[in-house]
Amino acid sequence: MKTVVELLTDELKKAFAECGYDEQYAKVTVSNRPDLCEYQCNGAMAAAKAYKKAPFMIADDVAAKLAGSEVFEKVESVKPGFINLSLGGEFLKNYLADMAKDDKYGYSNAGKEKTVIVDYGGANAAKPLHVGHLRSAVIGESIKRIQRFAGNKVIGDVHLGDWGLQMGLIIEELRDRKPELVYFDENYKGEYPKEAPFTISELEEIYPAASAKSKEDPAFMERAHLATAKLQNGDPACTAIWNHIMAVSKADLKKNYDNLDVTFDLWKGESDAQPYIPDMIQKMIDDGIAHESQGAIVVDIQEETDTKELPPCIVRKSDGAALYATSDLATLVEREKLYSPDAYIYLADKRQELHFTQVFRTAKKAGIVPQDADMTFLGFGTMNGKDGKPFKTRSGGVMRLQYLIEDIDKAVYEKSSENRSMSEEEAKNTAKIVGLAALKYGDLSNQASKDYVFDIDRFTSFEGNTGPYILYTVVRIKSIFNKYAENGGRPEECSIDTAKNASEKKLMLSLVKFNEVFESAYKDNAPHKLCQFIYEVADAFGGFYHDTMILAETDEKKKQGYIALLGLTRNVLECCLDLLGIRTPERM
């Protein structure tokens, strides 16, 4: 199903051609002056030079040719050469009716589907999720859903930080705390216990303690390095402890990601890439891609078109150790082998842009991925407090994500307590849904690359461009539907009619933008564009609701038209909210 802009452009192309002008000038856009018209074409301005005619004369010709078209209610030529367009009622009604019949509201990407890997977790094993993990999880989940809606096969990977020195630190701290464990008995030859020797709470306390100790005790740090090397060389005892760390960590991380309504198809980590590293580096050396520099093995990534110098990608340090870049490159080796994706999308703090530039260029130079591989780094800004600095707890520490969610749930619960007509249990469950909407919408309504201020009071407000306001709009529509059905109405038999007033047409005009907005959000990996659209629709519904007697309408045909329009409005809003990873409650 074509977008409205495409259909209008087709109409203008015919008119331009019939008037003797090249159809390339017939581009239509949404009007930037909605007070004057709904859509516009400025092609006459560009055509004037080619045809040596005043632009208003060209505009007059095209406008005259469009007179009587059922597509338009009004076509107006305005000096110096603008063509202002207003849609016809029948055209608008029919377009919305077609949208309502389609599972994807007219959107189609048929024949362009691809396999996409979205890497958007980045949590570390043995550490709790904190506010720094929020944006990658929330934005990544939305990107994954948008890609799937477009018809792509999408594989979301959490890509855990589960390898390296942190594991050695935990193993040695555990040795100091519980030396009696069989893992530390060099003479033990039996099977290791299946139950972990620590809880998640203990594990989350062990790592920071070990990290602090390593900074003050060189001998402890040396032991940690030794334990890390033993783990990476397959030592049974260290491997058994590592398996416990991963099992306990994954269970807790899954619980916390579930609280965010964020899910992953793969729970892989840096450890999965390790077997590929030796052969990968050797091939780079053999192929002349990598070379030695001050004892390290590096790959030059500088290109002639670069305006600034870029450092080479180090794939092996002088002491033989691998780096994050090495692990990311080896992960690409595994992903190409297992999934052969057409595209990659990586979510991370925008300050990691250089790292991903190095990885992507090295991967293409070394032939790990095809030269034309579609590789996108989506760097996001920081979530800041009201002081403009990265969000912290009152004591200055990094806040756990769990506590942030609890705070926003509490704020929503307290704000909605005054006008409550539901049980305590339903109120708390609803507060969780609305709180998560406030959190996610507050984040996603900002362009991903921009920093933003986390303002719990503004985000939880039931007025303005906020998650709670959008959810309240959907719930209000559901309430109208329920009342209509309770009074004997049959919503499924209602059909959209032509607009009866200006606010109804405004709502219709906002809904027909869905296809082009979604396509833009999909191509640009930009959930914030869906947020802008959602708010426009919700705001238009507010005007329509205020101006129109919906259930009190005595003309049954009019009432059915209203109900059908509201049904489409609800469905489109819920669809877009789902693409953002936001659920809607039945009541508020």
HSE, CB side, 13 Å, CA atoms: give it for residue 382.
Answer: 12
In this prediction, residues 257-277 reach a mean pLDDT of 95
In this prediction, residues 1-20 reach a mean pLDDT of 97
HSE, CB side, 13 Å, CA atoms: give it for residue 120.
Answer: 30
Calculated CA dihedral for residues 240, 276, 265, 143, nearest 10 degrees: 130
Rg value, the chain, Cα: 29
Of 494, 474, 555, 507, nearest to 92 by C-alpha is: 507
Amino acid 386: pLDDT: 87
8-state DSSP, 191: P
CB atoms within 10 A of CB 377: 18
Cβ partners under 8 Å of residue 419, min gap 6:
none
Residue indicated by tokens 């959490």: 158
CB atoms within 10 A of CB 1: 15
Give the confidence band of 320 by pLDDT, cuts at 50, 70, 90.
confident
Instruction: Report the C-alpha gap between 369 and 318 in whole angstroms.
Output: 26
CB atoms within 10 A of CB 102: 11
Reading the block at residue 60, the tokens are 């007059």
Is the pLDDT confidence value at 89 over 90?
yes
Task: Say if residue 527 is preceded by a cis peptide, omega within 30 of 0.
Answer: no
Is the pLDDT confidence value at 117 over 90?
yes
Amino acid 393: pLDDT: 73
Amino acid 417: pLDDT: 74
In this prediction, residues 371-397 reach a mean pLDDT of 88
Look up residue 199 and give its amino acid: T
For residues 26 and 50, is the Cβ–Cβ distance under 8 A? no
Q: Which helix (H) or strand (E) holds 77?
A: strand 72-78
Amino acid 398: pLDDT: 81
Amino acid 303: pLDDT: 95
DSSP for 392-420, please give it: --TTSSPPBHHHHHHHHHHHHHHHTSTT-
Is the pLDDT confidence value at 228 over 80?
yes
CA angle 281, 284, 286 (to 5 degrees): 110
Amino acid 110: pLDDT: 85
Instruction: Report the C-alpha gap between 39 and 92 in whole angstroms.
Output: 13
Instruction: Report the C-alpha gap between 558 and 509 in whole angstroms.
Output: 18
Amino acid 423: pLDDT: 86
For residues 380 and 136, is the Cβ–Cβ distance under 8 A? yes
Amino acid 321: pLDDT: 82
Q: Is the Cα dihedral 312, 318, 324, 327 positive or negative?
A: positive
* More confident: 164 or 584: 584
Instruction: Report the C-alpha gap between 198 and 208 in whole angstroms.
Output: 15
- pLDDT per residue over 450-506, tens digit each? 999 999 999 999 999 999 999 999 999 999 999 999 999 999 999 999 999 999 999
CB atoms within 10 A of CB 421: 7
Give the confidence band of 199 by pLDDT, cuts at 50, 70, 90.
very high
Give the confidence band of 265 by pLDDT, cuts at 50, 70, 90.
very high
Of 86, 34, 90, 81, nearest to 62 by C-alpha is: 81
CA angle 520, 525, 530 (to 5 degrees): 55
Residue 109 backbone phi and psi in degrees, to 5: -130, 25
DSSP for 91-122, please give it: HHHHHHHHHHHSTTTT---TT---EEEEE---
Residue 414 backbone phi and psi in degrees, to 5: -70, -35
Cβ partners under 8 Å of residue 405, min gap 6:
259, 260, 435, 436, 439
Amino acid 232: pLDDT: 87
3-state SS class at 206? helix
Is the pLDDT confidence value at 432 over 80?
yes
| Global model pTM greater than 0.85 | yes
Is the pLDDT confidence value at 92 over 70?
yes
Is the pLDDT confidence value at 419 over 70?
no
For residues 70 and 64, is the Cβ–Cβ distance under 8 A? no
User: Which structural domains are found in the chain, ordered by start?
Assistant: 4-87 (3.30.1360.70), 165-259 (no CATH), 401-579 (1.10.730.10)
Quote the percentage of the chain above a pLDDT of 70: 99
| Mean pLDDT for the chain overall | 95
In this prediction, residues 541-562 reach a mean pLDDT of 96
Per DSSP, which regions of 460-555 are E strands? none
Q: Could you tell me how far CA 365 lies from the centroid of its own chain?
A: 29
